[in-house]
Structure 1
C-alpha cells in the first residue's frame, strides 16, 4: 500500500515534488513498510522527500492503479516544522495553486491533489486509474 500527503500552506497552495526517477510532479509519499503504521509511514515519506515534518489531518481519497494493483491513501497535511529542500527523491519542490497542479501533474496524480485541496468536509474520493488517466470518469468530475 502507498500513501501520499498533500501539504497545504496558508494560501491554500499544495506542495508538489518533481520526482528524480521520472520527473513527474506528485504529492510526496511512497510505499509503507510491512510493520509501519499508516500515519507514521506518511510522516516518514514526507520528511524523506521534502525535509518537512507534518501533521496528518484527514483522509481525502483512495486511489487504485488498476494496471499495477496498488492502492494509495491520500491525506491532507499541514507543516509542523523543517524546511523545504531538494532530496535524493525530489529534484524540485513547488507550492502550486489549482491551475498549476492541473498543468504540471498527470491526471491520475493531479486529481489526488485537487481532491485534497477541496472542502475538507467532503467525503474521501474513491477513484481508479491506469497510472496516467482516470478510469470510468471524466477528469474534473
Structure 2
C-alpha cells in the first residue's frame, strides 16, 4: 500500500520534486453534517479530494474525486480557498514523489449516492462538525476545515 507522509516546515523533510494541482471538497448535507473519509495511505481523516487530471476542470475533478472516494454524487456550490503553502510537503513513498502543496478547497451539496469506502478511503461517514474536531487530521486539513467552519465572507488564499 502506498504511504503518504505530510511535512510542515520540517528542515529534515525531503525536497519537493513536483507541484500537482489538486482539489478537496467539503460536502455538507441538509443536517449540517460533513462528509469525511479515513484515508488508507496515512490513516488520517480528511474531506475527499485528489489531483486534477489533464482535460478536466476543477469542478469536474471535485465531483469525480468525491464519487470515487465516497460513493456520494455532489454538486459544487462554492470556494473556501486556495492552499499553496510551500512549507507543506507531501511525500508519497511508493514512487518517492514529494509534492509542494497546491489545493483548491470547494464546497458542495450531496445529490445522490451512498457512503461507500474505496481503495483510498477505509471509512466514509457523515459527521457533525463538533465530532470532527476530535479526529486525527493532518495540520493542513484541520486548517481547511476550520476555514470552512468559520463561514468566511471571502476565499482564503495561502
How does the TM-score come out when normalised to structure 1?
0.81
Contact 1:101 1:110 in 2 (8 A): no
Aligned with residue 57 of structure 2, among 21, 37, 51:
37
Structure 1's unaligned 5+ residue stretches are 128-141
1: distance between equivalents of 2:104 and 2:38? Answer: 19
Secondary structure in structure 1 of the residue aligned to 2:110: strand
2: distance between equivalents of 1:6 and 1:118? Answer: 13
Larger helix share, 1 or 2: 1
2: distance between equivalents of 1:13 and 1:114? Answer: 14
Structure 1 ranges of 4+ moved more than 4 A: none
Shift of the alpha carbon at 1:65?
4.1
Shift of the alpha carbon at 1:34?
1.9
Structure 1 residues 45 and 13, CA gap change in structure 2 (3 angstroms) = same
Secondary structure in structure 2 of the residue aligned to 1:103: coil
Structure 1 residue 85 corresponds to structure 2 residue 116: yes
**Equivalent residues, number:** 126
Aligned to 1:117: 149
Q: CA RMSD in A?
A: 1.6
Aligned to 2:33: 13
Deviations 1:28-76 (A, max 9, x none): 0000112211101111100000001100001111112423322100001
Aligned with residue 140 of structure 2, among 108, 111, 120:
108
1: distance between equivalents of 2:85 and 2:131? Answer: 23
Structure 2's unaligned 5+ residue stretches are 1-20, 90-98
Aligned to 1:74: 105
Looking at CA atoms only, which structure, 1 or 2, has the larger radius of gyration? 2
